Chain A
């Protein structure tokens, strides 16, 4: 490999990239816009689910019960008229559950008789439904203990503690994840376009005719896009720092090594896609929709990989973003450093080398396709 030819190829790519004003603008506007929207709007923590209550009891107990439910930040109680059918209320969709407190509940409790609270829960959204169930069960246990005759003390007292992010600041979870998703999407997209564009325009023939080798062509393009990808990384992390106060929690070294590795993986993947496809449209379809969906869903960005069926868990091991997301979350939230993430950094290096071979293979003859 001739390093000077690699360097010249890299400069040529950067010049081309700089000339295409719209792509240049989009290459930075898209990641920043995505970071802002994801970081500000996406929250998984359930809050403010409206539940309708029909209080037939109208007793100190029922008022206590209702205010107790209202005090949870997950549910908001809406008093519903008593003559509506619970199912009709759910059908209208203004409430996610109805709770009926039957008449005489307080008296029944005082007398030690069982007093069921009836609830119809809209299970369309399964997470909401289970949260409502949890809160109702816990509230019944708590309020029931006050109004019913005292029962035996509990056998087990559970002390739960949540580490690293005790305030439950969800931005700390989402934002480092968005870093990974963005860096998995855009460098791949730009690389795929950079590779296939020459083919579609036919200018690749000039490269074929020259003394340039496949390895030099790929290394040159890879180097140029690596620079662009790292510039994107710097931009979004600076914004994360300024807007959400994301800071290094521990040793920054795994991140400093992992980021160029991830960008390298993604760029090589893009080059591989570009080498295998013949038109910009199909290259973009593959890198734009397939790669971004995989990076968002199989990386554990929103929902944990461990909850997926086994096949998908295995599949997720070859997704670079899955490994990198652990590195960013460790660097910015947990702060364990090398002991927690050295395997991830190593895996990224392995994936990068495999992809390098994969991108080189279809180009190695430097010939037009037959």
Chain B
């Protein structure tokens, strides 16, 4: 145990771990398959933009003017008409029962009011159960009506000229894929390393390792090695897949990205090993891993924006390595910025990794004694 660090021994241990992992088909499958498939599926499925808001329309006016207005709503596919009915009460009932997301009521006197030179009043009711979606929908509706009112008028004197930087096509996958990469690496990294290192305990082979002259650092490094290289492969593969499917750009420095990703993967694996020191069985490992990974994922900005969290939780998220990694990946991939911009995040990530390795190595060592 007290013998000096030996590269030869580390190499032998590394070979043992590689053989063990590569020999287990199921583990290989679990490590390489989910990142790629999940990035693909989630990249397509995660869509925070409101598309296809189903709305019931009742057009009591039944005039060309009112039909033009309904057409303005449905033209760009955000609002999809469904059903409707004869009077406003039918629409209200549809919204109340939750069968539609919104209801548009154009009153009988709509066309007359416009003919008199007064604004025609129309009512749009949203199902506010999903307040986020209702607000987005209300915003769209305001823009649609604003556009509609501006028809035939000279362009308004004051207008914004908006340029979308980094993601001019507004592809939502470009935003979500970096978050997913980070989240998936974290959860699989955690689970795999924790269950790999607890297995030795579970099967009682830890005593055999104990009897060898290998130091705990060598054992630990050998454990990290194979997982680390597999995760780097999974990362590059998922990046390639996202580039192929979503045209995800890579504007920054590849070496910088791989370097930071390595630090991040080591951090994830260290947390996993730390977890394994608390658990006695595979089952406990998994429960604790999920308990650790979920808050990390939800407080990272991968799925829900950090700016919208209450201030307390924003502060808490600063110690989350995933949060920093996601910021870095988005910055490198989409913005193409360098270390001069992302250094605070890199610093936080490196600090986290060092602390995580240190604690897990200490605990792992005390467990070996």
Contact = CB atoms under 8 A, between A and B. Distances in A.
B161 interface: yes
A169 B131 contact: yes
A34 interface: yes
B129 interface: yes
Contacts of A118: 160-161, 163
Nearest to B44: A309
A93 B69 CA distance: 40
B180 to A, nearest CB: 10
A170 B298 CA distance: 16
A164 B129 contact: yes
Contacts of A120: 163, 165
Given A45-B132, A119-B162, A141-B156, A23 B284 contact: yes
A354 to B, nearest CB: 23
Nearest to B134: A162
A275 to B, nearest CB: 17
A141 B335 CA distance: 31
Contacts of A144: 156-159
Contact of A334 (B54, B96, B174): B96
B325 interface: no
A123 B169 CA distance: 9
A43 interface: yes
A206 to B, nearest CB: 20
Contacts of B290: 30, 189, 288, 292
Nearest to A92: B341
Interface string B124-145: 1111111111111011111101
Contacts of B319: none
A37 B300 CA distance: 12
B97 interface: yes
B98 A336 contact: yes
A198 to B, nearest CB: 13
A322 B130 CA distance: 14
Contacts of A122: 165-166
A44 B132 contact: yes
Q: Which of A91, A133, A153 has the most CB atoms of chain B within a 10 A radius of its CB?
A: A91
A164 to B, nearest CB: 5
Nearest to A305: B45
A124 B98 contact: no
Interface in A80-112: 87, 90-93, 105, 108-109, 112
B163 A334 contact: no
Nearest to A339: B97
A125 to B, nearest CB: 5
Contacts of B286: 189, 280-281, 284, 288
Interface residues of A, number: 115
A117 interface: yes
B161 A119 contact: yes
Contacts of A160: 123-126, 138, 141-142
Contact of A159 (B123, B127, B167, B327): B123
A117 B98 contact: no
A130 B141 contact: no
B117 A153 contact: yes
Contacts of B120: 155-157
A161 B129 contact: no
B46 interface: yes
B209 interface: no
Contact of B129 (A44, A45, A280, A334): A334
B132 A170 contact: yes
A158 B42 CA distance: 36
Interface stretch (B230-238, B304-312, B355-363): B304-312
Interface string A292-307: 1100011000111011
A299 B134 CA distance: 18
B11 interface: no
A115 interface: yes
6 smallest CB-CB distances across A and B, nearest first, come from A144-B158, A123-B164, A162-B128, A157-B119, A123-B167, A44-B132
Interface of A: 20, 22-23, 26, 29-30, 33-34, 37-38, 40-49, 87, 90-93, 105, 108-109, 112-134, 136-138, 140-141, 143-144, 147-149, 151-166, 168-170, 172-173, 189, 193, 197, 279-282, 284-285, 288-290, 292-293, 297-298, 302-304, 306-309, 312, 326, 329-330, 333-334, 336, 339-341
Given A20-B283, A160-B142, 13 more contacts: A34-B295, A90-B165, A120-B163, A121-B162, A121-B164, A148-B157, A158-B142, A160-B124, A160-B138, A163-B95, A172-B131, A293-B42, A308-B44
14 contacts: A30-B287, A30-B290, A45-B132, A91-B341, A116-B161, A144-B157, A154-B145, A157-B122, A158-B122, A159-B123, A161-B126, A197-B283, A288-B286, A304-B50
